[in-house]
C-alpha cells in the first residue's frame, strides 16, 4: 500500500477550455475540457490506479478489499466502503452556471446522497477573473424568486476578484459560481448533486438549454449575506499550515524548500496530496511516487510516516 496515483477522469464541459492541458499537462482531447476528476468513487466515474503493482485496480476495489488499511478505521466506521471526498481540478474558460448544493439532510431525503460542502484553491487566474460567492445583501425568499422570474439574479450576487493562492470555503446552501479565466483545485464531499439556478441562457452542443432546478433550490438556499467564505491561512515554509478544518475534510497548505517527514501513526485517515506548484516525491514505508503540478497522490491510512522530498513544491494536504 504505497503512495497511489490514479488516471485522471477528464470531463468535457460547455464552459471548459485548455488550461488542464496547457498548465497542468493533462491529456485532454478537445478544447472544452472543464474538469479532471483526480480521486473519485462516483458511480460511472471510479478512479483507477496508474502506478506500481496495483496499476489497473480501481479505487473502489481497493476500498472493498482493504477498507481499514486504505481509509482508516474511524473513516470506515463513518462512511463504510464509500470514499468520502471527491478531488478535482477545474478549468473555467467561460463562467460556470450559478448554483448551490443541498445539505446532508436534504440531499439524503431527495437524492439518497451526501450533501456537498466544498473548497476551492485558485491555481491560476486571468486578469480581473472573479468568483461569485453568496449574496451582496440579505435577501428575502420572495425577492430571490422574483429575481429568477425577472432575470435580475446577477444584481443580488457577491463578486470576488481572485488571484493565485486565494482559497474559498463553500458551505451547503451558499449560491456560487466559478468565473471565466479561473483554474482551481476543488475538494468536496462525494456528491454530484447540484442545483443550477441560472445558466446565462446558454445552449449545449445540441442546441438545448441546460436543466435548471428552480423549485428544488428554493428550500436549499441560505438567503443571508455572510462573509464566511474567504479562507485566511499561514504560508510558513516547510510547515503544515491549516486552511480548512470542517466535519467533512481537513486541508493544509505545505510549501517546501527542503524535505519534511511526518509521523502519522495516530492520523487514522488516508492522506491526499494535490500538487499545486513545483514537484515532490512522496514516500511511506512501502514505496514512493513522484508528484508534479497538477497531479494527486493518495497515501493509505496504514502508513505510519510520510516523507516529502522536495526543494520546491506547493501542496494541498487533505485528510478526514
Mean pLDDT of 23-50: 96
273-307: pLDDT as tens digits:
999 999 999 999 999 999 999 999 999 999 999 99
Rounded-to-integer distance, Cα 186 and Cα 274, Å: 10
The answer to whether the CB of 191 falls within 8 A of the CB of 113 is yes
Query: C-alpha angle with apex 299: 276 to 86, nearest 5 degrees?
Result: 60
Query: How high does pLDDT run on average in the chain?
Result: 95
Rounded-to-integer distance, Cα 303 and Cα 72, Å: 10
The DSSP 8-state label assigned to residue 185 in this structure reads: E
Hey, which residues are catalytic here?
A: 196
Closest CA to 299 of 144, 291, 240: 291
Q: What local confidence, expressed as pLDDT, does residue 226 receive?
A: 92
Q: What local confidence, expressed as pLDDT, does residue 69 receive?
A: 97
The answer to whether the CB of 13 falls within 8 A of the CB of 21 is no
Around Cβ 260, how many Cβ atoms within 10 Å?
15
88-135: pLDDT as tens digits:
999 999 999 999 999 888 888 888 888 889 999 999 999 999 999 999
Rounded-to-integer distance, Cα 56 and Cα 40, Å: 15
160-193: pLDDT as tens digits:
999 999 999 999 999 999 999 999 999 999 887 8
Q: What local confidence, expressed as pLDDT, does residue 143 receive?
A: 96
Rounded-to-integer distance, Cα 20 and Cα 295, Å: 11
Partners of 275 in the β-ladder = 315
pTM of structure: 0.94
Rounded-to-integer distance, Cα 252 and Cα 318, Å: 7
Region of 165 on the Ramachandran plot (φ > 0 left; ψ -120 to 50 alpha; else beta): left
Confidence band for 252, pLDDT divided at 50, 70 and 90 = very high
Amino acid at each position: 500500500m504505497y503512495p497511489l496515483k490514479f488516471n485522471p477522469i477528464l470531463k468535457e464541459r460547455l464552459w471548459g477550455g485548455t488550461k488542464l492541458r496547457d498548465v497542468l499537462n493533462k491529456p485532454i482531447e478537445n478544447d472544452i475540457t472543464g474538469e479532471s476528476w483526480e480521486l473519485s468513487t462516483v458511480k460511472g466515474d471510479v478512479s483507477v490506479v496508474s502506478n506500481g503493482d496495483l496499476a489497473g485496480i480501481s479505487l473502489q476495489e481497493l476500498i472493498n478489499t482493504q477498507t481499514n488499511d486504505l481509509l482508516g478505521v474511524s473513516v470506515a466506521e463513518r462512511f463504510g466502503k464509500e470514499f468520502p471526498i471527491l478531488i478535482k481540478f477545474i478549468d473555467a474558460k467561460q463562467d460556470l452556471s450559478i448554483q448551490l448544493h443541498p445539505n446532508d439532510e436534504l440531499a439524503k431525503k431527495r437524492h439518497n446522497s451526501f450533501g456537498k460542502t466544498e473548497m476551492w484553491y485558485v491555481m491560476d487566474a486571468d486578469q480581473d477573473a472573479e468568483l461569485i460567492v453568496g449574496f451582496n445583501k440579505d435577501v428575502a425568499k420572495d425577492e430571490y424568486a422574483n429575481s429568477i422570474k425577472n432575470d435580475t439574479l446577477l444584481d443580488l450576487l457577491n463578486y470576488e476578484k481572485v488571484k493565485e493562492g486565494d482559497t474559498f470555503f463553500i458551505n451547503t446552501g451558499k449560491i456560487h459560481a466559478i468565473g471565466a479565466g479561473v483554474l482551481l483545485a476543488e475538494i468536496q464531499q462525494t456528491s454530484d448533486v447540484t442545483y443550477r439556478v441560472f445558466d446565462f441562457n446558454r445552449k449545449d452542443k445540441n442546441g438545448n438549454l441546460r436543466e435548471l432546478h428552480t423549485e428544488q433550490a428554493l428550500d436549499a438556499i441560505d438567503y443571508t449575506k455572510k462573509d464566511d467564505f474567504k479562507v485566511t491561512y499561514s504560508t510558513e515554509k516547510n510547515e503544515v499550515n491549516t486552511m480548512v478544518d470542517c466535519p467533512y475534510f481537513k486541508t493544509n497548505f505545505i510549501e517546501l524548500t527542503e524535505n519534511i517527514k511526518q509521523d502519522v501513526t495516530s492520523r487514522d485517515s488516508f492522506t491526499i496530496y494535490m500538487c499545486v506548484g513545483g514537484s515532490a516525491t512522496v514516500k511511506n514505508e512501502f514505496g514512493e511516487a513522484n508528484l508534479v503540478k497538477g497531479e494527486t497522490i493518495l497515501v493509505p491510512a496504514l502508513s505510519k510516516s510520510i516523507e516529502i522530498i522536495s526543494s520546491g513544491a506547493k501542496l494541498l494536504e487533505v485528510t478526514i
